[in-house]
Chain A
Amino acid sequence: KQEVTQIPAALSVPEGENLVLNCSFTDSAIYNLQWFRQDPGKGLTSLLLIQSSQREQTSGRLNASLDKSSGRSTLYIAASQPGDSATYLCAPKGYSGGGADGLTFGKGTHLIIQP
C-alpha cells in the first residue's frame, strides 16, 4: 500500500525566499506524480505533473523533481510571494495488476508567506 509523507508539515517564511518542499513515497511503481495546491475550503489546483520517466518539470517559479528509485520528489518555489500561501500536496499515481490506481495523497505542507 502506497504511503506518502510530506516534510515539513508547516512552513512560515518572509516574502522573497526560495523554498523546498519534500515528498517521499514508499512504492516506486508509479505512472506519474502530481503536485497540487489547495486554498482553504477549496478544491485542488494542479501545479505540475511529472511522468515516471521524467526527472523534473518546470512551470514559471515552480520546479518539481522526481527520483522514482528512491521514492522522493521535491517542489522548489523561487522568489516566494504572499499569494503562494496555501497547502501543497503531492500525489503519486501508482499501478497494480488492474492498471492505474487512484492518487495517494500526503498530509500536505501548510505554507505561509509573510508580506
Chain B
Amino acid sequence: KAGVTQTPRYLIKTRGQQVTLSCSPISGHRSVSWYQQTPGQGLQFLFEYFSETQRNKGNFPGRFSGRQFSNSRSEMNVSTLELGDSALYLCASSLDPVGSDTFGSGTRLTVV
C-alpha cells in the first residue's frame, strides 16, 4: 500500500511570506502528526490531528497552524515566515493516536 505522501518535497520562500505543506496519510490511518527537524533543535513535535480535531500541540508560536480534512489528509501552514523556520518538516500517520507512526519523506523548506 502507498506510504505517507508529503508535497512539495522542496520549497523556497521569502521571509514574511506564508507557506502551506500537505500530507496524505496511509489509507485507513486517521491520526496525522507534524514534526520540525533542524540541525540545532533536532526533531520537535508540532501538532497532531485525529478525526479532524487537533488533539495535541507542541511548543511553537501561533504562526504554525494546521488542519485535517474528512479524508484524513492534513495541511500545515506557517505564516510570516522567519529565517529560523528553515527546516525539514515531517508528517507521520498512524491508525490512531497510540499506534505505530509511519513517516513521510518530508518537505524541505528554505526561507531566504
Q: Which of B17-46 contact A (CB under 8 A)?
A: 33, 35, 42-46
Check A42 against B45 for contact (C-beta < 8 Å).
no
Check A103 against B42 for contact (C-beta < 8 Å).
no
**Of residues A31, A46, A103, A108, which shows the largest number of chain B Cβ atoms within 10 Å of its Cβ?**
A103
How many A-B contacts are there with CB distance less than 8 Å?
Answer: 62
Identify A42's interface contact among B33, B43, B100, B105, CB under 8 A: B105
Known A43-B90, A93-B98, A108-B42; contact A102-B104, beta-carbon cutoff 8 A: no
Chain B residues near A20 (CB, 8 Å)?
none
Identify A102's interface contact among B42, B48, B105, CB under 8 A: B48
Q: Give chain B nearest CB distance to A88 CB in angstroms.
A: 13
A83 in the interface (beta carbon within 8 A):
no
Check A98 against B102 for contact (C-beta < 8 Å).
no
Q: Give chain B nearest CB distance to A30 CB in angstroms.
A: 10
Check B103 against A46 for contact (C-beta < 8 Å).
yes
Check B100 against A105 for contact (C-beta < 8 Å).
no
Check B98 against A100 for contact (C-beta < 8 Å).
yes
Check B42 against A104 for contact (C-beta < 8 Å).
no
Chain B residues near A44 (CB, 8 Å)?
90, 92, 103
Identify B33's interface contact among A34, A95, A98, A103, CB under 8 A: A103
Identify B103's interface contact among A32, A43, A99, A106, CB under 8 A: A43
Q: Give chain A nearest CB distance to B29 CB in angstroms.
A: 13
Check A34 against B43 for contact (C-beta < 8 Å).
no
Q: Which of A41-91 contact B (CB under 8 A)?
A: 41-46, 49, 89, 91
Task: Identify the A interface with B (CB < 8 A).
Answer: 31-32, 34, 36, 41-46, 49, 89, 91, 93, 95, 98-108
B56 in the interface (beta carbon within 8 A):
yes
Q: List 26 A-B contacts (CB under 8 A).
A: A31-B98, A34-B100, A34-B101, A41-B88, A41-B108, A42-B105, A43-B103, A44-B90, A46-B101, A46-B103, A91-B43, A93-B101, A95-B98, A99-B97, A100-B55, A100-B97, A102-B35, A102-B45, A102-B46, A102-B47, A102-B56, A103-B33, A104-B45, A105-B43, A105-B44, A107-B42
Chain A residues near B35 (CB, 8 Å)?
102-103, 105
